[in-house]
Chain A
Amino acid sequence: MKVNRRKLLTMLGISPALVAEARGEHASAFFWPLHHREPKTAKAAAPGAQKIEVLNPRGTPPPITLIPMAPRLASLDGKTVYLVSDGFPGADLFLGQVANWFKKNMPSVNTEYRLKAGGFADDDPKLNAELKAKANAVIMAIGH
């Protein structure tokens, strides 16, 4: 199964054609969940079968406020890129290899490793302040 990004983008007023991987995804009656199998209810009811009406059991999702992406850099040359671990096992070692990759392939890039405090979904105001003051860009990883 694939995420139905096409439906989601349409819902948000964005052209699905912008996302190449949306091609070939099938339609669903709902935007939520994004996973689904092709509904089979298009088949004809058995002769004499009576139609009944039932209620939708879904809760009410909150409105979505679109967040524009931050401006991009012209290049990473001479820039400081913070490598931020979300705390999942292996993220520290993986980001260490990202730092090695930059050292080997783009030595003008300065990297700084940080572990985000708290659980994976927690905010880290202290780190956020440091990023705002010192980072030109952030690479965040990774989750298992």
Chain B
Amino acid sequence: MGIPAAPIVTIAFKDLALSNAAKRGMPLQRISFTPHPVWGKTEDQMYAYLEGNDPVSGKPFMKEVIDVLTKPLSAEEQKTGTTTPSVGPPTFADAPDNLQQYFLDNGMTDFMPIILPTQEKVDAMLKGTSHKPNEAVGKMTPAQGAFPAWSYNVRQVAVNAAMAGAPPEYFPTILAIASTGISALFSSTNSLVSAAVINGPVRDKLQMNSGIGAMGPFNQANAVIGRAWTLMSKNLDGGGVAGETYMGSQGNIINYNNLIIPENEKDSPWPPFHVQKGFKPDESIISFFFGFGIQQGQGGRGLGVKPVPHFHEAMSYNVAPFASMFGALFLLDPLVAHGLVDLGYKTKEQLADWLQKNTKVTVRDVRSMLFSMLPRGPEAAQLTDDSVIPKWPSTDAYNFVVVGGQTNPYHQLANMSYRVSVSIDKWA
């Protein structure tokens, strides 16, 4: 644009700002830093930041900002050209224990021991797909638009799959995940999480668990496919580096191997999730969700009603406080799903319609909540603080997956939005 600019960043984002400026072609970008945070500080406290020193350079803050805009440029700051970053050699050779340590020290693991990706193991993994090792699979970034996307091929995905401990038959599902370019370690301060719902014959082929303990550590495929997603999210895009490409303030335990949810199609009274999205029942499909996380739904209003608990009321009650920037993903034990059918919800669509019409919040509540959005358009001008509006404007915000082993009529609910569904069969 040709106009001098002075970016100001809080100290908590120093490493992210410096490294990302370099990755975007400005390794010497002049950046000024304030203490952290700015959000929640009074105007007097903010003014004190301006009168104080930059915590990185130690120089008076506003003098530095003015210098950024007026100090003549060095030759290096005007340099042009192109360079290709290195990610190290294609192979490493050492004793196994040393290699474990090397992978750990260089941020290539989830900080648990990995299966060392020897050529033999990677070759075996590549036999799990008909696709060529050098075929491009996709591009991934820790945050769309914020970080440059890295590319990868089938072989690079296979290395990560081997590290996670996957047998070759899991590889098409892992490739399907990689093909979306969705990182499980999104670089947000919000410690966000990802989920993948798996439908179709692949669940049985891989002997996945959609019954008792489906979302816990009780099945190899459920666990390993999720772990591979995390490893790919670190290695295929340079993500998951705390403080640099991952900024989740508290982190989230779900990020270890994500929410891998094979739907219990056999025991569900409703068509499976992928069929809702237009796929055929005999297609193997993986569907992605993204958001804040998951919680149990046992405390909801209506669950004490006899003889059939009012599951729909509990679901509505529990999602009302959710942040509206993401939707609701309900994970229903088959007993809950059948109970809802008994209550008159013959389809998931009927249930979504009831929830959309009956889950309401006041404008006052919305205005006081973080990450909640008020309606837009002409009708928005008529709203007062006491106006009651739908939690979400569309039934699209409500999604349902049946999972669990029917030991009790329980459900869990996630403040997560649906993103996309892709074929696993395509990668076989």
| A-to-B contact residues, CB < 8 Å | 1-3, 5, 8-9, 11-15, 18-19, 21, 28-41, 43, 45-46, 49-76, 81, 88-91, 93-94, 96-98, 100-101, 105-106, 119-122, 128, 131-132, 135-144
Contacts and interface: CB of A to CB of B under 8 A. Distances in A.
Given A35-B243, A94-B38, A94-B46, A121 B144 contact: yes
Interface in B43-87: 43, 46-47, 49-51, 56, 62, 65-66, 69-74, 76-87
A97 B122 CA distance: 57
Nearest to B5: A138
A57 B69 contact: no
Interface residues of B, number: 110
A73 B173 CA distance: 55
Given A36-B105, A46-B95, A61-B85, A52 B118 contact: yes
A58 B8 contact: no
Contact of B22 (A8, A56, A139): A8
Contacts of A49: 95-97
Contacts, number: 328
Interface of A is mostly: loop
Interface of B: 1-10, 12-15, 18-19, 22-30, 34, 36-41, 43, 46-47, 49-51, 56, 62, 65-66, 69-74, 76-99, 101-103, 105-108, 116-119, 122, 140, 143-146, 148-152, 155-156, 159-160, 163, 189, 231, 235-238, 241-245
A82 to B, nearest CB: 8
A72 B95 contact: no
B38 A61 contact: no
A63 B84 contact: yes
Given A51-B95, A63-B83, 20 more contacts: A3-B15, A13-B83, A18-B74, A33-B107, A33-B244, A33-B245, A35-B107, A40-B101, A55-B117, A55-B155, A58-B235, A65-B82, A66-B27, A68-B78, A69-B77, A71-B73, A97-B47, A98-B50, A122-B145, A144-B189
